[in-house]
Amino acid sequence: MSEDSQQPMAKTVGEVYALIGWGRYHRTLFVVCGLAWTADSIQSGLLSFMKQEVVKEWDLSTEKLSFLQNLFFIGEIFGCLLWGPLADRFGRKTAFLVANLSLASFAIAVAASPSFEWLVFFQFFVGMCISGVVVPFDTLLECCDPSITDQVTFGVQYFWTFGTIYVNLLAALILPHDVIDLPFAFGKLQPWRALAVIAVLPIILACLGYAFIEESPLWLQDQGRQGEALETLRRIARRSNVNIDRVTLLPLPPAHEETPPSLCKVVRWPYLRRTVSLCVIYLFGLMGYYGASLADPYIFAKPSGSTNYGLILFSACGEMFGVLVMSLVCRKVSLLNSLSFFFAMAGVVICLVLLKGNVPLTTLAMIVFVARACCMSCSCGYFLAAPKAYPTSIRCTAHAFVNLFGRGGGFLASVAGNFMNINVQLAIYGAANIICAITTFASRNLLLAEEQALESSSGKLGGQLSQPFNCPESVDDSGPRPLSYEGQITS
């Protein structure tokens, strides 16, 4: 063996992941993060069913019932101010555990609520905890070979669709009954309480997965803990049967920021303009998504007052189709162009739901199926774009901040559902998607730098990621430029 082959190899974190490939550790992390993503979907979907069912137990006015959804989304807004900065300050793994343990505890408390007031109280904290979903998503993004990051993060969206189908299937099986007899200490429960209990299972599995995941090496390196980052990478490699003992990590650029992360950085130059664009997209994008989801029970309501759960389940399956289509389209078309197209299509198709009552029920179900697919395709796109538009030091903080506007969009959708006719709601949700399509199209030049950064980090622009790239703070943000992705993108 030659002397050169024994020399240490200096690599970036991204290059080390390229050496490791997609191994056993990454499959484990993918499932654990996916289960946390599933929990968000389940709790969001549970709202629409709970709102219809709790009136069977308590005599509630429409105004009082509206607090159930409104406080949930308000809790999400507060949570966005908590979990992102927590993950950037104390680590992704710590924030992941605290968020999921808290979510499991409050979700169980929801099922045991002795009164409607306690139910609303617990739902507020469920909403606050569910906002921590950006942490496992960003962790997964940071811990993969850059050449497969896009497809991996698209893949985790299947867990969201699984959660949507899971809660709709459970609702179809449980809610028609008068009482549900659960094992262990739960005993006989009213259907909505039993549904809330069973919906917690994926969250508990995600908490157990904490024992099998590592801290993000990118975050460790960003914190100046170079040795810990390398040791973590070596443990990950051993679990994937890859030897990287001769690998060392390239240091971060000298100009790397060492100040603590804060929301102020996200809304200051040079990040301000991209933050504004992403906030608009999240606000109206998730307003359209949540609006379409929460409207399903009313779209498929039977004349007798009951709900056609079978058609709701079918339409929810459109989300899985939407993830598949987006992942295929983005292999050929840029992320921004794909987003513009699917936002426009979602706006048009949601407005077609206004034909309810004038078209056969099967046709209506297909329209809603396509609408849910388009909304999910858009969600895949902007959830991928946001974390990659910022450096490690503020990634979770920035993602949580723009997600705050998304949760605000969910809150607006909830308010519209409480006080507006279903046809007016659908028109608003369609218009929200059209606004996103226009914003994305109009911001193409502004976001071009972000798109180039995404493509560079996934290897689409060619060239091996090898030398640290210093992106000075003094660069003008008015035009396209490469962004620093962990200080690893070549100029």
In angstroms, how far apart are the furthest CA atoms of the chain?
82
> How far apart are the C-alpha atoms of 371 and 321, rounded to whole Å?
11
In order of their start, the domains of the chain are 11-219+257-451 (1.20.1250.20)
C-alpha separations of 269 from 187, 312, 443, 476, 486 in Å: 57, 45, 17, 9, 19
Percent of the chain with pLDDT over 90: 25
Q: Which two tokens stand for residue 182?
A: 């659960």
> How far apart are the C-alpha atoms of 357 and 362, rounded to whole Å?
11
Say if residue 301's pLDDT is above 70.
Answer: no
- Convert the pLDDT of each residue in 60-71 to its tens digit: 877 778 788 788
> How far apart are the C-alpha atoms of 73 and 96, rounded to whole Å?
20
Among the ranges given (217-226, 292-301, 355-364, 432-441), the one the predictor scored with the smallest mean pLDDT:
292-301
Mean pLDDT of 172-187: 73
C-alpha separations of 20 from 17, 40, 465 in Å: 5, 30, 15
Mean pLDDT of 216-234: 91
Q: So what's the pLDDT on residue 447?
A: 57
Q: Compute how many other C-beta atoms are within 10 angstroms of the C-beta atom of residue 147.
A: 16
> How far apart are the C-alpha atoms of 125 and 75, rounded to whole Å?
6
- Convert the pLDDT of each residue in 119-128 to its tens digit: 999 999 999 9
Amino acid identity of residue 224, one-letter, is G
Query: How does residue 482 score in pLDDT terms, banded at 50, 70 and 90?
Result: very low
Task: Confirm if 245 and 28 have CB atoms less than 8 A apart.
Answer: no
Q: So what's the pLDDT on residue 98?
A: 92
Say if residue 490's pLDDT is above 80.
Answer: no
Amino acid identity of residue 191, one-letter, is P
- Convert the pLDDT of each residue in 368-409 to its tens digit: 899 999 999 999 899 888 888 888 889 999 999 999 998 888
Rounded to the nearest integer, the mean pLDDT of the chain is 80
Mean pLDDT of 209-236: 91
Q: So what's the pLDDT on residue 67?
A: 81
Say if residue 248's pLDDT is above 70.
Answer: yes
- Convert the pLDDT of each residue in 137-156 to its tens digit: 899 989 988 888 888 988 88
Q: So what's the pLDDT on residue 122?
A: 93
Rg (Cα) of the chain, in Å, rounded?
Answer: 23
> How far apart are the C-alpha atoms of 246 and 480, rounded to whole Å?
38
> How crowded is the C-beta side of 312, counted as CA atoms within 13 Å?
29
Q: So what's the pLDDT on residue 58?
A: 87
Say if residue 467's pLDDT is above 70.
Answer: no
Q: What is the DSSP string of 170-220?
A: HHHHHTTSS-EEETTTTEEE-HHHHHHHHTTHHHHHHHHGGGG----HHHH
Mean pLDDT of 273-294: 87
- Residue 210: Cβ-neighbour burial (10 angstroms; 0-12, 13-18, 19+): middle
- What's the 3-state SS for 395-455? HHHHHHHHHHHHHHHHHHHHHHHHHCCHHHHHHHHHHHHHHHHHHHHHCCCCCHHHHHHHH
Amino acid identity of residue 114, one-letter, is P
Say if residue 446's pLDDT is above 50.
Answer: yes
Phi, psi values for residue 189, rounded to 5°: -130, 155
Mean pLDDT of 46-65: 82
- Convert the pLDDT of each residue in 332-382 to its tens digit: 888 888 999 999 999 999 888 888 778 888 888 898 899 999 999 999 899
Of 126, 130, 170, 429, the residue nearest 295 (C-alpha): 429
Answer yes or no: pTM beyond 0.85: no
The residues pairing with 9 across neighbouring beta strands, listed in sequence order, are: 247
Mean pLDDT of 81-94: 92
Residue partners of 199: CB distance under 8 A and separation at least 6 = 42, 43, 46, 107, 166, 167, 170
Say if residue 183's pLDDT is above 70.
Answer: no
Query: How does residue 186 score in pLDDT terms, banded at 50, 70 and 90?
Result: low
Q: So what's the pLDDT on residue 7?
A: 64
Q: So what's the pLDDT on residue 72?
A: 86
Q: Which two tokens stand for residue 404?
A: 């705050």
